[in-house]
Amino acid sequence: MVKAEVCIEGEPVCNDESGDPSGPFCFVYDTCFMKLVLRLPFDLFEKEVLTEMNVCPTQLRPNSWAFLRIFFILCDILDIVPTLNVFFYFFELKTSYRKLWATLNSFSGRRLFTLFKSSYKNFKGHFIKICPSSKDPTMLEGFPLYRAPIPRFQTTCQMEDLNP
């Protein structure tokens, strides 16, 4: 069970929970739910990717969420367990716009998916505040909830690092 709240106008999405009596929360772009069919709570793989990159959900641009979602769906269709090594064999993290946002890009020569014909526009001001419900108070555990000042750049995963 998820509790979603409308953001208050002018509420900064880069703040942490300090001083917030409602407890832990995170922000997610509304387009991720409307266009990418993102589901909450995040699955273990999505949490692992966010944690490995040290980014909260709003630091990852919607196009990058699309890469993450389609990778997960492809693994599910092929009956492959998605792992960080396989994901980071195909994708690398880059920062943009004063390191406020992070993007996932394909490694050269390892393209798994083609580029989008268009990118998401005007997404930056449209958020939903996600809070755990009393029925599932741990749903927001296992990944960064608030903007990290510096995302973590993982090393390139090579073919020999992958399981057969």
Task: Tell me the pLDDT tens digit for each residue of 19-77.
Answer: 565 678 888 888 788 778 888 889 999 999 999 888 889 888 888 888 898 899 999 99
- Which residue's entry shows tokens 């407890």? 23
Collapse the DSSP code of 27 into the 3-class scheme (helix H, G, I; strand E, B; otherwise coil) and give the result: strand
Q: What are phi and psi of 72, to 5 degrees?
A: -65, -45
Chain-centroid distance of CA 32 in Å reads: 10
Cα–Cα dist 28/33, whole Å: 8
- 71 vs 147, which has greater pLDDT? 71
CB atoms within 10 A of CB 27: 23
- pTM over 0.75, yes/no: yes
* Local structure of residue 40 (DSSP, 8 states): S
